[in-house]
Structure 1
Amino acid sequence: MTDQDDIGALLGADGPFARELPNFAPRLAQQAMARAVQHAMAECETLIAEAGTGTGKTYAYLVPAMLSGERVIVSTGTKALQDQLFFRDLPKVRSVLGARLKTALLKGRANYLCLYRLDQTVREGASFDRTQAEQLAAIRAWSARTRRGDRMELAEVPEDSPLWLRVTSTPENCLGVECPFYDDCHVVTARREAQEADLVVVNHHLLFADLALKQEGFGEILPGAQAFILDEAHQIPELAGQFFSQSLSARQLTELAQDALSECNGITGAIGLLLEPVEALQGAVRKLRLTLDPLPTRGPFHELLQRDGAQAGLHDLGELLASLTDLLASQAERSRGFMNVHERAASLAERLDRIIEEHSEKDVRWYELFPRGFALHATPLDLAAPLRAMRERTHAAWIHTSATLSVAGHFDHFARQLGLDDPQTLSLESPFDYAQQALCYMPDGLPDPSVRDYTERVIDAVLPVLQASNGRAFLLFTSHRALRRAAELLTDRVPWPLFVQGSAPRHQLLEEFRASGHGVLLGAASFWEGVDVAGDALSVVVIDKLPFAAPDDPVLQARLEALEQAGINPFMGWQVPSAVIALKQGAGRLIRDVYDRGVLVLCDPRLTSKGYGKLFLNSLPAMPRTRDVEDVQRFFNRATLPIPSPLRGKG
């Protein structure tokens, strides 16, 4: 074990990173975080480490992880970050340290090509349209040359292509050791490599699917780790809610029905037995969806039950699913596929009964509607208890890090959500010089955000800023309705190219925005975080309103009521802290580099008219504030920053 001083020295001005990596910038905050991570791992502690943008937190946890001699799981927020960590950052750190350890990248099974399902899809010879036929040909050609089978390798087939659903497996439809392609299976290979590795890079979805549900069948891989490092940890509370929920969707039922019919091929008498009950189940799913059509897109379960015909529709669905399960049981011995479909049907029937029948005070029952489907959920009211139990089972160190975990310097909200009792905490400010690099502009005279023409007023206030910056802006909205209205208002009023969320895939919009040099990008939720545009292409970030969670969220409503009953003010105890963390994420898009300069435009007048506004402002990096648009114009007219020291560096 390397002692703490050595960890700091490794990342210091005289250390190997400064010697060997071009543009590496030694940072005291990075060294402090590396020491804290090392200490938490050695003492098997829980650590919350907030590290401002530019701290270099990736190296700050990778260095102690790689020197620990222990088995470590690193989990990131997205698959894109997972790839960046594994293919870019890890090799650099390993090279500098000369570390001889095995590393592995592991994703959920839906990310890997399933050779059996590809073979089935080709054999079925379905009548695909031209685009899908070309995509299938591309997948077949790629399947012959890929080693990992990770669909991220094949950029020419879009991530949202429906074809991927046909050529990847799910925990339900995987044939396991019975599969004729088992020896060449990409999922099996990836798991085996992860089992043998000292450091495994996963993503939060996979980590929780495994630890919370054991649903990915990776139970033998992730346990045994001495440390779990969760990057982008601010995403954990919401994700945990998904994974500790009981859920059932129309899509799961429809896929079950389709797979049951597919299994009839070549099995005498099966189609005669199953066709009618399968079609009856599909009909019941469609009928229930039509019955629910007038309802809001999401709401508490009791609202669904009040809808005429909904209770009868759920009852029919349950009866038909139960009878199909019984029929599939009679066929289960006839093929591995039928056994699998029977197990799925039994599991879905049990889940449906549980969601409909159980009235646990610990759960929130709710529904969601989609254009062609629906989902029913039972979500735990309090996530702290299952998360605490999950961590305790691992007997490992747990390190949570992100640029946005605190509210005005306090970690109470994050710790309470995750059930972290008396954790070690560390708060490290960004090394960027916000006083010189940034300006916060809060336009004067804007009305309360609830007024009807609020978006029109925001755009009027923002246009002079866009003129001063010559475009080069992100406009972030708290609702898709406001985003669409802003796009209408700007279309004929600005000379710069507009990039509107929803008009193209996110990665494509970002690439085109960067390339345009003077674009204006309009985004909602998914653009508030995980977006990195360093340099001149982005010099303004506009936030229309404080990002309070939608009041129509039935889980949030139930949590707020529970807090009130416990004597806690739900607005100050939950809604404000959650919105502060979301605002910090959005504001964090502005300064990504020591060379960046930019203006943060905060339009919501509640920042100064309401007492809680100070909590938001005190949680942002310290930068000059103004209400005068002329200050914005002067900011952009000023010469650019001198070349700073230390030099820019990822680290």
Structure 2
Amino acid sequence: MSEVRAVFAPKGALSKSLPGFQPRPAQQAMAAAIAALEKPGAQLVVEAETGTGKTFAYLAPALLKGGKVILSTGTRNLQEQLFHRDLPRLREALAPRSVAALLKGRSNYLCIQRLEQNIRHPVDADELVLDQLQTVRDWANRSKSGDLSELTSLPEDAPVLPRVTSTIDNCLGRDCPHYEDCYLVKARKEALEADIVVVNHHLFCADLVLKDTGFGELIPAADLIVFDEAHQLPDIASQYFSDTVSTRQIVEWCRDVQLLYKTVVRDARSLSQIAEQLERGARDLRLCFPIDPERGNWRDALNKDDLSQSSTRLGELLSRARAICKQLLGRDKDLDNCYERLELIHKRWELLHNTAVTGYSYWYESTPRHVSMHRTPLSVAEPFGKQLAEQDARWVFTSATLTVNGSFDYFCERLGVSNKNTMILDSPFDFQKQAMLCLPRYLPEPHERSMPQALADIVRQIVAHNSGGTFVLFTSHRMLQLVAALVQDTLSRPVLIQGQTSKRELLNQFVEAGNGVLLGTSSFWEGVDVRGDALRCVMIDKLPFSSPDEPLLQARVEDAKLRGLDPFATIQIPQAVITMKQGAGRLVRDVTDRGVLIICDNRLVTRQYGATFLASLPAMKRTRSLQQALDFLHQAPPPESGDVSELGAAEEHPAQPVTSK
């Protein structure tokens, strides 16, 4: 432990090797607490507010302690930032001989087998897909890693990508003729041999649950596992403990079968016919839902006659396809794999229709082309907690937002994590001097028709007093669009609206403008880092309670009632507090930042639960006077002094705006 503290000392290893590094007590305390985790299975939960430098705080003991370390981040963007920027700096200073590896999910790597199949027989490929296939082929001849993030000439949602990547369902594993050259196999081999492996929560949970070939060998071998942005983990884990069937899965299965019919089982006309019928059945099911994407209760949806009939029909087609495919077993390895995929889809389909089983939320989500059905456990505390207990690793969970009113109970109970070993590390920022929280008087209630106009008026007043940039964060797309329509043609500065272009491009435009107004919803509440005058005001339209129509929330509320608990106090308030803390955290990102947080919801002062929200926010100056907040905003920012080097905060200082996925 003393060795770790010495690293962060004024004349320690980091100060000597990293120009501009400034030691921080909170950073030292967190690093020492991680170093003190000696017992296998030990757990530490740390809330480290913005500016404490938590990345270096967990990297230093990980590098000094030795052994196998897994670092899991909330998103792929943060994963790459950690691997390419923060980790190399510390590794060079503390453990230059240690080996690090970046491991992504299989959908990020080119599948040579599927690329060749689709080039030879591009089933149902239009001109766009054919052009993209050629682009992928040209790039594949040059790539050494097979990491599709290198292929910047294709959009993230390019239709060719599912055709040239594998899933756990369609991967042939060791039976693949390209197994020795497989990019995914090579990446996993590097990860197995590395001292430090950087993954993301989605990959960790997927492989933890599915025991996917290869990566599962890493977890038992790990001595230390760190989850950064751990507040995202409960919801991500829920996805991977769910049973899901999507029409996309079924359509892709049908296309793969049609490819096999044209190449290796040309006499199996019945297989091609059932694939055609099954694909049509999947598309018919999607047509039973509204055109606009939505989420809803699957139990309730099954009570509708048209959907019930389409669902029953699709189940019958799945059974027939399974029987036909079974008769062809042994003729081809790819076909055998297709049968196994169909078996799994069929089994999950039956589970999704046995809605009398309790303890699960049955829900659906539609996109413009597909619909997915889910059976999600109401709590992952038992299965995830079991995984924690079965591994000998030491576990660290950290984020800037884990507590509700100073308590870790909500986070720990959701994951089955022990809350005996916890830390709260306050931010080094002087919020009393740097920021002001305004709860404007005389606002309509959030549901009233006059609210959009009231919000638009506040936005105009902010712009009149703010020489820098403004974030306007909404809890719904509907309110965003209503306010956008009222302000976008009335402001004399750039107005950027979510959906106009990609999130990354919007942020780049916002930073370049320096005085822009960005209107966004949930994806802009976290994982966004804009410093200085480019962001001097964050406005939030209302408290971020989840929609009461959200099916998973409905199921959890009902379960809480059955257990004699108050669902509003135990589920809805804690969830909203965590989200609010994330949104508020966009404002002050540096010791030189200065700005105003405006929350336009009277319930913060008129409802008893408002005190819980206020107690969880940073200790800013507070006012009910909008004019006083505008005056604070209008004042010139203080001269830059006491600058905190990017090497002191590490993860808080990206070279450019960092976004979540």
Task: Using structure 2 for the length normalisation, give the TM-score.
Answer: 0.94
Per-residue Cα deviation, 1:456-512 (whole angstroms, up to 9, x for no partner):
211212321121113511110000101111111111111111111111111111111
Q: Does 1:553 align with 2:550?
A: yes
Q: Does 1:220 align with 2:217?
A: yes
Gap change, CA 1:557 and 1:43, over 3 Å in 2? same
Q: Distance in 2 between matches of 1:154 and 1:347?
A: 32
Q: Distance in 2 between matches of 1:421 and 1:152?
A: 37
SS in 1 for 2:219: coil
User: Which residue does the alignment assign to 2:518?
Assistant: 521
Per-residue Cα deviation, 1:409-454 (whole angstroms, up to 9, x for no partner):
1111111111123431000011111112111122221111111221
Q: How much has 1:632 moved relative to structure 2?
A: 3.0
Q: Does 1:641 align with 2:638?
A: yes
Q: Which segments of 5 or more consecutive residues in structure 2 lack a partner in the other structure?
A: 651-661
User: Which residue does the alignment assign to 2:379?
Assistant: 382
Q: Distance in 2 between matches of 1:471 and 1:89?
A: 29
Query: What letter is aligned with 1:29?
Result: A
- Out of 332, 343, 351, which is 1:354 matched to? 351
Per-residue Cα deviation, 1:211-267 (whole angstroms, up to 9, x for no partner):
122246522222221221100000011111111111111111111111111111233
- Out of 133, 138, 142, which is 2:139 matched to? 142
Q: Distance in 2 between matches of 1:411 and 1:397?
A: 19
- Out of 307, 313, 317, which is 1:316 matched to? 313
- Superposition pairs for residues 42-191 of structure 1, below 5 Å? 44-124=41-121, 135-191=132-188
Query: What letter is aligned with 2:623?
Result: T
- Out of 510, 515, 529, which is 2:507 matched to? 510
Q: Distance in 2 between matches of 1:358 and 1:636?
A: 54
Q: Does 1:253 align with 2:258?
A: no
Q: Distance in 2 between matches of 1:370 and 1:590?
A: 33
User: Which residue does the alignment assign to 1:276?
Assistant: 273
Q: How much has 1:566 moved relative to structure 2?
A: 1.7
Q: Does 1:469 align with 2:466?
A: yes
SS in 1 for 2:512: helix
Q: Distance in 2 between matches of 1:290 and 1:268?
A: 32
C-alpha contact 1:465 1:632 (8 A) present in aligned 2: no
User: Which residue does the alignment assign to 1:611?
Assistant: 608
Gap change, CA 1:625 and 1:309, over 3 Å in 2? same
Q: Does 1:590 align with 2:559?
A: no
SS in 2 for 1:401: strand
C-alpha contact 2:472 2:518 (8 A) present in aligned 1: yes
Q: Distance in 1 between matches of 2:127 and 2:518?
A: 32
Gap change, CA 1:295 and 1:124, over 3 Å in 2? closer
Q: Which range moved further: 196-205 or 275-284?
A: 275-284
Gap change, CA 1:302 and 1:147, over 3 Å in 2? same
- Out of 618, 628, 631, which is 1:621 matched to? 618
Gap change, CA 1:238 and 1:268, over 3 Å in 2? closer
User: Which residue does the alignment assign to 1:367?
Assistant: 364
SS in 1 for 2:364: strand
Q: Does 1:535 align with 2:532?
A: yes
SS in 2 for 1:219: helix
Q: How much has 1:294 moved relative to structure 2?
A: 9.0
Per-residue Cα deviation, 1:113-143 (whole angstroms, up to 9, x for no partner):
1122222233336796676555444433322
Q: Distance in 1 between matches of 2:453 and 2:11?
A: 55
Q: How much has 1:30 moved relative to structure 2?
A: 0.4
Q: Which segments of 5 or more consecutive residues in structure 1 lack a partner in the other structure?
A: none
Q: Does 1:338 align with 2:342?
A: no
User: Which residue does the alignment assign to 2:238?
Assistant: 241
C-alpha contact 2:173 2:179 (8 A) present in aligned 1: yes
Gap change, CA 1:535 and 1:136, over 3 Å in 2? farther
User: Which residue does the alignment assign to 2:426?
Assistant: 429
Query: What letter is aligned with 1:56?
Result: G
C-alpha contact 1:472 1:537 (8 A) present in aligned 2: yes
C-alpha contact 2:402 2:411 (8 A) present in aligned 1: yes
Q: Which range moved further: 526-535 or 638-647?
A: 638-647
Q: Distance in 2 between matches of 1:305 and 1:268?
A: 37
SS in 1 for 2:328: helix
Query: What letter is aligned with 1:272?
Result: R
Q: Which range moved further: 267-276 or 472-481?
A: 267-276
Query: What letter is aligned with 2:22?
Result: A
User: Which residue does the alignment assign to 1:630?
Assistant: 627
Gap change, CA 1:428 and 1:466, over 3 Å in 2? same
Q: Distance in 2 between matches of 1:493 and 1:206?
A: 45
Q: How much has 1:51 moved relative to structure 2?
A: 0.2
Q: Distance in 2 between matches of 1:466 and 1:371?
A: 36
Q: How much has 1:599 moved relative to structure 2?
A: 1.1
Q: Which range moved further: 291-300 or 196-205?
A: 291-300
Q: How much has 1:539 moved relative to structure 2?
A: 1.0
Per-residue Cα deviation, 1:373-406 (whole angstroms, up to 9, x for no partner):
2221111122211111111121221110000000
C-alpha contact 2:468 2:515 (8 A) present in aligned 1: yes
User: Which residue does the alignment assign to 1:203?
Assistant: 200
- Out of 18, 27, 33, which is 1:36 matched to? 33
Q: Which range moved further: 290-299 or 614-623?
A: 290-299
Gap change, CA 1:295 and 1:105, over 3 Å in 2? closer
Q: Distance in 2 between matches of 1:270 and 1:543?
A: 62
Query: What letter is aligned with 1:643?
Result: E
Query: What letter is aligned with 2:523?
Result: S
User: Which residue does the alignment assign to 1:544?
Assistant: 541
- Out of 537, 560, 564, which is 1:563 matched to? 560
C-alpha contact 1:78 1:204 (8 A) present in aligned 2: yes
Q: Distance in 2 between matches of 1:155 and 1:32?
A: 41
C-alpha contact 2:101 2:191 (8 A) present in aligned 1: yes
SS in 2 for 1:644: coil
SS in 2 for 1:333: coil
C-alpha contact 2:445 2:602 (8 A) present in aligned 1: yes
Query: What letter is aligned with 1:306?
Result: N
Q: Distance in 1 between matches of 2:471 and 2:190?
A: 41
Q: Distance in 1 between matches of 2:225 and 2:299?
A: 39
- Out of 398, 401, 410, which is 1:401 matched to? 398
Paired residues, number: 648
Q: Distance in 2 between matches of 1:128 and 1:497?
A: 40
- Out of 489, 492, 504, which is 2:489 matched to? 492
Gap change, CA 1:373 and 1:128, over 3 Å in 2? closer
Per-residue Cα deviation, 1:242-297 (whole angstroms, up to 9, x for no partner):
11111111111111111111111233544522122112212222222333449993
Per-residue Cα deviation, 1:550-609 (whole angstroms, up to 9, x for no partner):
111111111112212222211111111110000000011111122211111111111111
Q: How much has 1:547 moved relative to structure 2?
A: 0.4
Q: Distance in 2 between matches of 1:134 and 1:287?
A: 29
Q: Distance in 2 between matches of 1:351 and 1:529?
A: 33
C-alpha contact 2:475 2:521 (8 A) present in aligned 1: yes
C-alpha contact 1:292 1:307 (8 A) present in aligned 2: no
User: Which residue does the alignment assign to 2:657?
Assistant: none
SS in 2 for 1:73: strand
SS in 2 for 1:601: strand
User: Which residue does the alignment assign to 2:659?
Assistant: none
User: Which residue does the alignment assign to 1:265?
Assistant: 262
Superposed CA RMSD in Å reads 2.0
Gap change, CA 1:277 and 1:54, over 3 Å in 2? same
Query: What letter is aligned with 1:181?
Result: H
Q: Which range moved further: 577-586 or 496-505?
A: 496-505
Q: Distance in 1 between matches of 2:264 and 2:207?
A: 35
Q: Distance in 2 between matches of 1:583 and 1:159?
A: 29
Q: Distance in 2 between matches of 1:259 and 1:589?
A: 45
Q: Which range moved further: 519-528 or 122-131?
A: 122-131
SS in 2 for 1:389: helix
